[in-house]
Structure 1
Amino acid sequence: MENLFILLGAAAIGFSHSFEADHLVAVSNIVTRRTNTISAIKDGVFWGLGHTSTILLVAIIYMIGKFILQENNFHYFEASVGLMLMVLGVIRFYKIFQDRSHGHSHISEPTFGLAYGVGLVHGLAGSGGLLISVLTQIKDNVMAIFYILIFGIGSIVGMMIAAGAFSLPFSTKIINNKWLSTILSTVSAFLCVGLGAMIFYKNII
């Protein structure tokens, strides 16, 4: 029964973890280029799979190699998230400028691989505190792996909801409103660059 409560807690923590600001900003930058909610929800799934893949891989390496994990070791990984956000924002600014220059909105939807890759980077950065907590308190390696997997499922569900919600203003019924689309896209790009710069500065300087 105790293990059940632990795993239910993992799902709840994973769900809430997906709503952290850097996660939401990055995924919103991706899904606002979608024209239908189903594709955006799939982005949420792929983000969660990427996020879980990295955390699981780091955990397995730790278990096999018995490396010492310290939260300070993950500062550079956190900085990589900031850099990734800035890159996503700059690319979005370029696409907005390109669309405005051509006098029309050219919809270029990203591949699901982009969402998976963004999730991988987020997982690498966010794995520090989670792994230190789980792997130092749960001595049973099998239970620790189950915890991470359930945490991953929770994060996938949370991001599916967030991605679907972010995509609604960009559905095919609204995307024809060129000004609204441009404004929302610009806000998303600003948030990416701004938050990315803050995260990068905090972990590098």
Structure 2
Amino acid sequence: MTGIAPSIVSFLFLGFFLGMRHATDADHVVAIATIVSRQHSIAGSALIGAAWGVGHTLTVMAVGAAIIVFGVVIPPQLGLSMEFAVGIMLVLLGVLTLTGMGRAVGTAHVHAGVPGGNALDFHEHPHAHGDYVHRHPHGHAPGAHGHAEEDTPLARLDRSGLGRLAFYEWLRPFAVGLVHGLAGSAAVALMVLSIIREPMAALGYLLLFGLGTIVGMMLITLILSAPFAFTAVNLPILNWRLRVASGLVSFVFGVFLIYGIGFADGGLFSDAPTWQPR
């Protein structure tokens, strides 16, 4: 790459701050809120934000490179499909959060199998081991549960974890970031291509943009996680309500996106789909 004009250099670094702003998009914040609602650690929440940012950056770089370097043109149906996937993902995140909270209600129970019984009685009900909820016949006396506390699928994934977060806790925000990156990558790449004609400089912009989204989402998750972390310890009923609220918001917002992108005029399933990258 030869002599890049100072204005281009400034634009490259502007990409970092635009990436931070991009992280504040409503669908991003709604999705990540459902994930950090499960976190009791503010530091762990920041790592969730980083995982989302890494997934987002990977797809922005991949799709952006295809557009900038190879001149790939994304047809309207594909572009709308990528954005439609965000709506489906938000609905799924909402459903998972709400069903998880519903199971949490079912974990309140009497530890006796029959009225007047004792902890040696075997019975069956939904119960939790950390964030993992399942059911099987068990007792509540020492050694009567049927498996060790640490012998659950999520606990086994925890032991293969990365730093403060277990593998499965990284995986969800990373996957969500991948989907969000698909939906927004074309708009970012086309905007860059209209200003920077040098492919390597344009890819440099995308990289700085991605770093900005990582930092921006880490800051957002730090802010979002504070009330969840505080209420989880001090106000468990309010924490439950906040988590239910985050699931409801995600579900409703996802349905709104699905309708707007899929079924409104010019939508994915209309007679004449039209797509404006944004």
Q: For the superposition of Structure 1 and Structure 2, which TM-score range results when normalised by the shorter chain? A: over 0.9
1:150 matched to 2:208? The reply is yes
- CA shift for structure 1 position 64: 4.5
Structure 1: give runs of 5+ residues left out of the alignment: none
Name the structure 2 match of 1:131.
Answer: 189
Q: Please give the alpha-carbon distance, in whole angstroms, between the structure 1 residues aligned to 2:18 and 2:225.
A: 24
- CA shift for structure 1 position 32: 1.0
Which residue of the other structure, out of 232, 255, 271, is the alignment partner of 1:175?
232
Structure 2: give runs of 5+ residues left out of the alignment: 1-5, 110-126, 132-165, 264-278
- CA shift for structure 1 position 70: 6.0
Percent identity, please: 29
Name the structure 1 match of 2:172.
Answer: 114
Name the structure 1 match of 2:89.
Answer: 84
Q: Contact 2:196–2:202 (CA<8 Å) still a contact in 1?
A: yes
- CA shift for structure 1 position 146: 0.5
1:53 matched to 2:110? The reply is no
Q: Please give the alpha-carbon distance, in whole angstroms, between the structure 1 residues aligned to 2:13 and 2:218.
A: 19
SS at match of 1:175: helix
Q: Which amino acid aligns with 2:250?
A: C
RMSD across aligned C-alpha pairs, in angstroms? Answer: 1.9
Structure showing greater relative contact order (alpha-carbon pairs closer than 8 Å, 6 or more residues apart)? 1
Q: Contact 1:18–1:158 (CA<8 Å) still a contact in 2?
A: yes
Runs of 4+ in 1 over 3 A off after TM superposition: 69-73, 104-107
Q: Please give the alpha-carbon distance, in whole angstroms, between the structure 1 residues aligned to 2:186 and 2:70.
A: 16
Q: Which amino acid aligns with 2:232?
A: I
Q: Deviations over 1:36-94 (max 9, x none)?
A: 01110001111111001001001222344322246674111111000000000001110
Q: Deviations over 1:112-143 (max 9, x none)?
A: 11111100000000112111111233111100
Name the structure 1 match of 2:108.
Answer: 103
Q: Please give the alpha-carbon distance, in whole angstroms, between the structure 1 residues aligned to 2:69 and 2:217.
A: 30
More helix by proportion, 1 or 2?
Answer: 1
Q: Which amino acid aligns with 1:82?
A: G
Name the structure 1 match of 2:72.
Answer: 67
Query: Mean alpha-carbon deviation: is it higher for 195-204 or for 3-12?
Result: 3-12
SS at match of 1:133: helix
